[in-house]
Chains A and B, each alone.
Chain A
Amino acid sequence: MKINQSIQTTPNFQVLSEDQIERIYFSALDVIETTGARFYHEEALELFKNSDAVITDENLVRVPTSLVERALQSHPNKITLMGRNGKRTVKLQKDEVAFGTGSDLPFTYDRETGERRRTCYQDVANAGKVIDHSENLDFMMSHGIVQDVPNPQTYDRHQFKAMVENCTKPFVITSVDGEGLQDQHKMACIIRGGEEEFKLNPMFVVYIEPISPLMNDRSAVEKLLYCAEHGIPCMYTPCPSSGATAPASLAGMLVQSLAETMMASVLTYLKNPGMPLIMGGVTTVLDMLTTTYSYGSPELSLASAANTDISKWLGLLMFSTGGCTDSKSLDEQAAIEASTSLYYAFLSGANLIHDVGYLDSGVNASLDSLVMCNEIIGMVKQIGKGICTEDDYLAWQLIDEVGPGGEYLTHDHTFQHWNEWFMPKLQDRSDYDTWVREGQKTMDIRIKEETNRILEEHKPEPLDDKVLEQINQVIDDAEKRHSK
């Protein structure tokens, strides 16, 4: 009989100690009490005015800690997302990790001509297909931005349709403004069978961002208030560039980001307590040679993991970043940067890890990158399985049975355990001669072939005709309103 055992079933990774987290948190509260944030929205200012908050200089809002702490307590610490496939697959709760794409990339390389061109409806549809097929991608953001539609003010409804027709998994959506969000919510509720059902089984999380440092524009606030009113999960995710729109010290960037997120917590609490709020932040550096907002820096991974530590301490969920690159093509740099960020984001225990498939610092979309990252995530998740040390796994009896010079290949134990390993799909482990005989295909070629195969063969479960009709109606109505 064993006694006093503790077992670590997964690796354990932490960047910040509790004392460090508290220092960041107290500093962020100081920022909220002394500096405050600006809100460019009348209803928001009205809500603050009727609370303990103080407004000066027309729209500069400062909030006492007592109110901030009340607001922070009001958010649920668990949300389960359900795609249109009816499966509650994405569990947002402490240390549960899901991976997905980023959104709204303006460019892509045409798969036929190789030419860099603007992303269109079909690109988003294709991304949906690839995500729907990829076992390690759990949620979808649009990947590309739909630009071949009549009106840039209503593109988001078309984008939603491209996503929902091709991907049955849950989404993180973006929207033009509050009205665009409302239309997408309407479409999701049609699929879900009503607003109350959506609340129990949300089909998406809404992506909203402040403007760092400490500014909240009209459309962001509109969306926040809509989410609060309807109980829709949303993330308020700052995109500070360290050294430009946030302090160059990572701790300072985290302090500011947390202040920005907590201001959103207070606002939604004043509107309607209980909105599921997800912390976030693409917390990275401004490259001081090129002024690029870097998607491949190690600081992005480090600051994001630290931010995740903070989120867990606060009892909030976390939207993090991985699988992206500053490289212009899917090359060695892309693979290095995507692997690094995916690995650390996973280890940190962030709940939604997005931006898989971003090339060119968040400018260029790449389906091939999604396919590559699907493989990387498989490897990363394998590391997350940790080491089991139960008797059958220690296998000393087996070692004794096989003995010096023996072999394990034909043993039942091998047959029972080998498929606990990661099986690569795209990585080549063949011998040299086989590799030559099969055409000397390098990874980039194998990735392209796999992407083409998915696009050709994968048929997502079709959307019900009647539902599609209603979705088209919502889109037509929006077009009519905006053509006036």
Chain B
Amino acid sequence: MADKLEQLSEKLVAGQIEDVQRLTKESLDEGMAADDVLQKGLFAGMDVVAQRFKNCEMFIPEVLRSAKAMQGAMDTLRPELTQAEADKAATVVMVTVEGDLHDIGKNLAGMMMEGSGFKVINMGIDKKPQEIVDAVKEHKPQILGMSALLTTTMPKMGETINALKEAGIRDQVKIMIGGAPVTEDFCDEIGADCYAPNAAIGVEKANALVSG
């Protein structure tokens, strides 16, 4: 049994999408608990991926390949998880703020969070503060991730935070911001909870936010 989970981890690290899918199914068919498959197989593998990426031994396309394999396995696993187990995964709403059509960095961060076990809701680009407030109300995420690439659209992040305050829900969600012109100082200035200079650190900080 343990062998199979180890194999699952290895295939996940190697980004073998079909093998991961197959091994996940086989594990469940053999009567293994879904939560064990998730924790000891998939998460164990993604931990290795994160470590290797940090050590410059894996690169973005490879990490995303593993993340894709992870997502495929999750689709199989999700119906088998108990409500309590499924609820363990934190939800992140990701969005590019109003006036900005750039989204590759935000999408990358979202994909990597998904790979790390988060449930990610990607709102897309050019979203007004009110639309973001509505999404937070609807999805009740633990984390809201906002992105802007332009110095001209950066202030919209602050406006969105103000809109959340006015709606009385600012305290219900942690806010992470990112984008090339964004800095730690700016994060403090607008009252966000944390700033991630790149996608990998975004995942790290997201984990810290939900566990802290």
- Residues of A near any B CB (own CB < 8 A): 405, 407, 409-410, 414-415, 418-419, 423, 430-434
Smallest CB separation, B1 vs chain A (Å): 31
Question: Which chain A residues border B180 with CB–CB below 8 Å?
Answer: 431
Question: Which chain B residues border A419 with CB–CB below 8 Å?
Answer: 59, 61
Question: Smallest CB-CB separation from B196: which chain A residue?
Answer: A433
> Do A433 and B61 touch (CB < 8 A)?
no
Question: Which chain A residues border B68 with CB–CB below 8 Å?
Answer: 410
Smallest CB separation, B59 vs chain A (Å): 7
Question: Which chain A residues border B15 with CB–CB below 8 Å?
Answer: 415
Q: Kindly identify which residue among B59, B64, B125, B184 contacts A410, using a CB–CB cutoff of 8 Å.
A: B64
Return 13 A-B CB contacts under 8 Å, by A number. A405-B103, A407-B104, A409-B60, A409-B107, A409-B108, A410-B64, A410-B111, A415-B15, A415-B61, A415-B62, A419-B59, A432-B197, A434-B201
Smallest CB separation, B16 vs chain A (Å): 12
Smallest CB separation, A405 vs chain B (Å): 8
> Do B59 and A418 touch (CB < 8 A)?
yes
CA distance A423 to B183 in the complex (A): 27
CA distance A169 to B60 in the complex (A): 34
Smallest CB separation, B120 vs chain A (Å): 13
Question: Smallest CB-CB separation from A436: which chain B residue?
Answer: B197
> Do A414 and B197 touch (CB < 8 A)?
no
Check: B198 CB closer than 8 A to any chain A CB.
yes
Question: Smallest CB-CB separation from A431: which chain B residue?
Answer: B197
Check: B65 CB closer than 8 A to any chain A CB.
yes
Question: Which chain B residues border A405 with CB–CB below 8 Å?
Answer: 101, 103, 125
From 160 to 185 in chain B, residues with beta carbon under 8 angstroms from any chain A beta carbon are 180, 183-184
- Residues of B near any A CB (own CB < 8 A): 15, 59-62, 64-65, 67-68, 101, 103-104, 107-108, 111, 125, 180, 183-184, 197-198, 201
Smallest CB separation, A409 vs chain B (Å): 6
Question: Which chain A residues border B107 with CB–CB below 8 Å?
Answer: 407, 409
Question: Which chain A residues border B61 with CB–CB below 8 Å?
Answer: 409, 414-415, 418-419
Q: How many A-B residue pairs have CB under 8 A?
A: 42
Smallest CB separation, A439 vs chain B (Å): 15
> Do A434 and B64 touch (CB < 8 A)?
no
CA distance A368 to B65 in the complex (A): 37
> Do A409 and B197 touch (CB < 8 A)?
no
CA distance A466 to B194 in the complex (A): 64
> Do A434 and B198 touch (CB < 8 A)?
yes
Q: Kindly identify which residue among B111, B125, B183, B198 contacts A409, using a CB–CB cutoff of 8 Å.
A: B111
CA distance A299 to B78 in the complex (A): 68
Q: Kindly identify which residue among A409, A415, A423 contacts B104, using a CB–CB cutoff of 8 Å.
A: A409
Smallest CB separation, B72 vs chain A (Å): 12
Question: Which chain B residues border A415 with CB–CB below 8 Å?
Answer: 15, 61-62, 64-65
Given contacts A409-B107, A431-B198, 19 further A-B contacts (CB under 8 A): A405-B103, A407-B104, A409-B64, A409-B104, A409-B108, A410-B67, A410-B68, A410-B111, A415-B62, A415-B64, A415-B65, A418-B61, A419-B59, A423-B59, A431-B197, A432-B197, A433-B201, A434-B198, A434-B201
Question: Smallest CB-CB separation from B200: which chain A residue?
Answer: A434
CA distance A418 to B65 in the complex (A): 13
Question: Smallest CB-CB separation from A418: which chain B residue?
Answer: B61
Question: Smallest CB-CB separation from A410: which chain B residue?
Answer: B64
Question: Smallest CB-CB separation from A417: which chain B residue?
Answer: B61
Question: Smallest CB-CB separation from A413: which chain B residue?
Answer: B61
Question: Which chain A residues border B125 with CB–CB below 8 Å?
Answer: 405
Question: Which chain A residues border B183 with CB–CB below 8 Å?
Answer: 433
Smallest CB separation, A365 vs chain B (Å): 30
CA distance A433 to B67 in the complex (A): 25
> Do B197 and A434 touch (CB < 8 A)?
yes
CA distance A423 to B107 in the complex (A): 23
Nearest 3 interchain pairs by C-beta: A433-B197, A431-B197, A415-B61
CA distance A423 to B180 in the complex (A): 22
CA distance A371 to B154 in the complex (A): 41
Question: Which chain A residues border B197 with CB–CB below 8 Å?
Answer: 431-434
CA distance A431 to B68 in the complex (A): 26
CA distance A94 to B60 in the complex (A): 38
Smallest CB separation, A297 vs chain B (Å): 37
CA distance A430 to B197 in the complex (A): 9
Question: Which chain A residues border B108 with CB–CB below 8 Å?
Answer: 409
Smallest CB separation, B141 vs chain A (Å): 22
Question: Smallest CB-CB separation from B124: which chain A residue?
Answer: A405
CA distance A85 to B60 in the complex (A): 36
CA distance A415 to B183 in the complex (A): 31
CA distance A407 to B64 in the complex (A): 12
CA distance A433 to B198 in the complex (A): 9
Question: Smallest CB-CB separation from B111: which chain A residue?
Answer: A410
Question: Which chain B residues border A414 with CB–CB below 8 Å?
Answer: 61
CA distance A324 to B146 in the complex (A): 48
CA distance A409 to B180 in the complex (A): 18
CA distance A379 to B184 in the complex (A): 34
